[in-house]
A and B are shown apart, each in its own frame.
Chain A
Amino acid sequence: MIENADQIFVLLQAWLLSFLPAAWRPAAGVVLDVVAIICVFPALFALTTVLERKGLGRIQNRIGPNRVGPLGILQPVADGIKSLTKEDIVPLRADAVLHFLAPLVLVVAVFMSFAVLPMGRNMVLVDMDAGLLFFFAMGASTELSVFMAGWSSRNKYSLLGAMRAVAQMISYEVVLLMSSVSVVMISGSLRLTRIVEEQNQYSGIFPHWYIFTPWGLAGFLMYVVAATAETNRSPFDLPEGESELVAGYFTEYSGFKFALFFLGEYLGMFAISGLGTTLFLGGWSAPFSFLGWVPSWIWFFGKLMLSMCVFIWMRGTLPRLRQDQLMNFAWKFVLPMTLVNLMVTALWRFLGEGWEQWVFCTAILVAVYVLMGRAEMRSEHFGPRRYRYAE
């Protein structure tokens, strides 16, 4: 019975496929999975927009939208109708083909990255040998669409926003990759299902999630920072900050294309949170061994929504980072920390089981963090400004 609840979607798919002839079943199975992903994640996106607006409102001492539907739940429906009925304006001298393709490329690349996430036991669309690499490859393709959007608008402010966005995404992509490599080192595989299975073991009632190890916690924190920057989310939302560049690289978009960019951004957030959950938070495994009776997909989506809440919380709290502060932070602080984290992970593996690995690894990480933090905070020069191009 518990097993059935856990595998309910797999059983549902098998039942639906039993109506088809055997030759069609593999292809139809894939199509069914794809349709499920296309239906579930945009619905979650709608829910997240309401949660974000109401959550931000509560953080800012106000109620969020509460007129459409009970407690404002149907607000995304109103937003969707609004964006569908707005006039689609394309600037006269804009590059029409690229202007049209940019949001499509973004949404397609982001949807593709959902294909490797294990959303429950036996619930992954394609179980690839190099699944993690595929995910990062799709993430890299989103940068291209950002650039296309900024360049095709024929607007110097959009172009500036696009170039800033691409620079930011490239810098933090390195950080993202490096903080994931330590997980790959310990679990020994790029296959995401294998990574989750390695974390699905319990010692006593406590799980073996990687976040409960010193290197895993450090890696997770750096992953969160990089994920926030990759999805252009506050406090790294300079490329799309309303007070800076109107809307940055999607200034010239209106109506449904804007809605597609918005969708692409939130889906990117889901995908990156899903990967972070898989790598560090144990994917679909339960937090305590006695909670194993709850279906695995509930744990995965629960952790996903928890990550969304953390994103929303950070958005409501932190002020925006300036471009040079962002880049300095990435290259001068976070990247060295990821390299130190890699070495500490190797040390963890080397020292084997016992108290030594915990003590030494934690000590090294904390010491490096404190020292680098001191160095970073001391290097605030408050003298007269020197302008590079104005002299």
Chain B
Amino acid sequence: MRDLGHPPVWTGKDGKPMSIAFYLVAALTVGGGLAAVMLKNTVHCALALTVAFAGLALLFLQLDAQFAGFAQILIYIGAVAILVVFAILLTRSQEAPRGGVFSKSWLTGLAIAAAVFAVLGWAVLQTANLLPRVSEAPVVTVQQIGTALMGRYVLPLEIVALLLTAALIGAVIVAMHEKEGAQ
């Protein structure tokens, strides 16, 4: 039997049990995610995914990670969700696919998903046992994030910037190619 002298994993920062707010937000996120795969209308799926993103942002905010939470809203809801709905609209795939929403080999899919979940859960539980008895979450200010990005992680930052520029130029070229093709 493992030594459970430290607080079990489902307690919050102060060792108290997770608040009801957490359960509500978690239910919202999971519900959004489920709706995103089970609804028939594709645009409804995209909007349910947005609800899931919002739930994730609320979870970040609960953990006092303000920057991560607001960046999640700004980027995922403000840009990625809009991109997804634009893509759905412009390709006109609003009707449900002919053969139904669920695939034929759903049993195999279920087995694989259960296996992945088991692996992830085992990894989380293992790390939780190894963490020191810290009852407070670290306070990370935006200034610390900025200093880290400009100091220690400047190379990944620049590479990501290059990647984004390449994506932008690629999008412009693809759009311009259409113009050449039409003429």
Contact = CB atoms under 8 A, between A and B. Distances in A.
Interface of A: 95, 98, 128-130, 133-134, 136-141, 143-144, 147-148, 151, 159, 163, 166, 170, 173, 188-190, 388-389, 391
Given A133-B67, A166-B82, A140 B89 contact: no
A131 B113 CA distance: 39
Interface string B72-95: 011001110110011001000000
A228 B131 CA distance: 51
B66 A130 contact: yes
Contact of A144 (B50, B141, B182): B50
Nearest to A147: B85
B47 interface: yes
Contacts, number: 66
A133 B70 contact: yes
Contacts of B50: 144
B103 interface: no
A137 B82 contact: no
Contact of A140 (B78, B143, B183): B78
Nearest to A130: B66
A144 B77 contact: yes
A129 B50 CA distance: 25
Sort A-B residue pairs by CB-CB distance and give the 9 closest, nearest first.
Answer: A140-B78, A137-B73, A133-B70, A137-B74, A130-B66, A137-B70, A134-B70, A140-B74, A130-B67
Contact of A163 (B71, B74, B86): B86
Interface residues of B, number: 25
Contacts of A391: 182-183
B48 to A, nearest CB: 11
B142 interface: yes
A388 B82 contact: no
B77 A141 contact: yes
B30 interface: no
B98 interface: no
Contacts of B86: 163, 166
Contacts of B47: 98, 148
Nearest to A173: B78
B82 to A, nearest CB: 6
Given A144-B50, A147-B85, A388-B182, A130 B70 contact: yes
A133 B82 contact: no
19 contacts: A95-B41, A130-B142, A133-B66, A133-B70, A133-B74, A134-B70, A136-B70, A136-B74, A140-B74, A140-B78, A140-B79, A141-B73, A141-B77, A144-B50, A151-B89, A166-B86, A170-B79, A170-B82, A391-B183
A388 B183 CA distance: 8
Nearest to A134: B70
A140 B77 contact: yes
A133 B70 CA distance: 6
Contact of A137 (B44, B78, B81): B78
Contact of A129 (B44, B66, B179): B66
B43 interface: yes
A151 to B, nearest CB: 6
A95 B78 CA distance: 22
A231 B179 CA distance: 32
Nearest to A138: B73
Nearest to B54: A141
Contacts of B81: 144
Contact of A143 (B41, B44, B82, B182): B82
Nearest to B179: A388
Contacts of A143: 78, 82
B172 to A, nearest CB: 11
A129 B141 contact: yes
A143 B78 CA distance: 7
Contacts of A189: 143
Contacts of B143: 188-189
Contacts of A190: 142
Contacts of A170: 79, 82
A97 B179 CA distance: 38
Nearest to B94: A151
Contacts of B70: 130, 133-134, 136-137
Contacts of B44: 98
